[in-house]
Copies of this chain bind each other. A is one copy, B any other.
Amino acid sequence: MGTLLLKGIQLNGRKADILVEGNRIARIAETLDSTADRVIDGSGKAVIPGLINMHTHSAMTLLRSCYEDQPLKDWLERVWAVEARLDEEAIYWGAKLAILEMLKTGTTCFLDMYWQTPALARAAEEMGIRAFISYNFLDNFDHEKAEKQYRECEEIYAMSRDWPERVQFCVAVHADYTTSEATMLRSGMFAHDHGLVFTAHLAETLSETQEDIVRTGMTPAQHFHRLGLLGPQTVLAHGLWLDDHDVEILGQSHTTIVHNINSNLKLASGYRFKYQELREAGANICMGTDGAASSNNLDIRESMKTMALLQKAWREDPSAMPLDELMDIATVNAARALRIDAGRVEEGTLADLVLVDTRSEAFIPSANFIGNLILSANSSCFDTVIVDGRVVMENRRVPGEEEILERAEAIARKINNV
């Protein structure tokens, strides 16, 4: 079991030594007289828990910036046309590009919703990030398709027992307007029976929400509720168009709602995310980036700033969305939903840690580290990333990054010529 010592690093405003044994934090003290296989000098650095991206479609990095400033309908048609060309290899390299970007921006764990589940898992395994890779149900109300998907889901779940513990299988339903109730129920039961995270899109746009009400007589949230699919291990992305009753049922069931502010703004899906209401009702709020085709990057720290700005702006209250809650949203709340011992820098927790270089103009004055990190810095402040006790980025370098850029670029050139 390898040991790693972070020596003299800033933690919650004080200098500390942090000893990592295996994949967990063993000890934290002002000074530790331990020897370790490896020592990292923490001077000029601060440590935070790794950020967690709770909603993305990783391989959509291949579509980044390829079709900008278009009406939603044209944009979607283009995205679908390009996506139809993505084979397993494309998705593998697209996911690697995504993971490279997440590590560079301080993310140590993500929840993915895309196709080619085994290729996604392989990319995550190889790059050392913690990942929750979902099998994605989308049957377009076609019974045969649903059957095929269900068999495939079972097969991949069986395969997933060979994945490292750091890469976990989970279950996704695209959305209730694309997937039959039978499939929603069956996939939800599958997740429940095997103790897996269950994720889906929810009420991303007003039109989809209104159409749902016409089609089912219920809002999307009420639809999930009626099917018994809400709860602490259900992770619903977006949740922008919710009425008071929706907020109540999502809160009472302690469902996780993932806010994807940059994507929501860029696609003009909405910006009045009811953070405070959902939180007060009991829901668990997390942060996501969505895919890079809509948010353009997978930078959770940047999304945290945008969320702070938008909550203050639309509520017309500069005291809305305090910084400490924002940190929880990107760390401890996500760990709670995923049931992992992460999101905090404490003895006994998983060593998913990010080292921040504070020796730059963005961190001066130095009085408010979290304020500077979220509102002033950019994500090049993330210097070193540790996942599961292993250093996966050091001095902003990730092993193999040149090959990833080359391969992803070549594939993107091919697939974007639609």
Contact = CB atoms under 8 A, between A and B. Distances in A.
Interface of A: 61-66, 68-72, 75, 97, 100-101, 104, 262, 264-268, 270-271, 292, 296-297, 299, 302, 306, 308-310, 312-323, 359-362, 364-368, 371-372, 375-380, 401, 404-405, 408-409, 412-413, 416
Contacts of A323: 68-69
5 contacts: A68-B375, A266-B318, A364-B405, A364-B408, A366-B412
A65 B314 contact: no
A271 B318 contact: no
Contact of A365 (B72, B262, B268, B408): B408
A97 B299 CA distance: 26
Interface centre among A100, A264, A313, A316 (most CB of B within 10 A): A313
Given A75-B318, A101-B362, A297-B377, 11 more contacts: A69-B320, A101-B361, A265-B309, A296-B371, A296-B372, A299-B378, A302-B378, A359-B405, A366-B409, A379-B380, A380-B380
A295 to B, nearest CB: 8
The 9 closest A-B pairs by CB, nearest first: A65-B371, A380-B380, A365-B412, A378-B378, A296-B375, A265-B309, A65-B368, A265-B313, A296-B376
A268 B313 contact: yes
A97 B313 CA distance: 28
Interface centre among A62, A68, A71, A292 (most CB of B within 10 A): A68
A317 B268 contact: yes
B371 A68 contact: yes
A368 B68 contact: yes
A66 B241 CA distance: 35
A84 to B, nearest CB: 17
A264 B314 CA distance: 11
Given A62-B365, A97-B361, A365-B416, A268 B401 contact: no
B264 A313 contact: yes
Given A297-B376, A314-B271, A318-B267, A364 B71 contact: no
A365 B65 contact: yes
B265 A365 contact: no
Nearest to A406: B364
Contacts of A101: 361-362
Contacts of A312: 265-268
Given A313-B264, A408-B365, A412-B367, A376 B318 contact: no
Contacts of A364: 61, 64, 97, 405, 408-409, 412
Contacts of A404: 361
Contacts of A302: 378
B318 A69 contact: yes
A296 to B, nearest CB: 4
Contacts of A413: 365, 367
Interface centre among A101, A268, A323, A365 (most CB of B within 10 A): A365
Contacts of A296: 371-372, 375-376
A368 B69 CA distance: 12
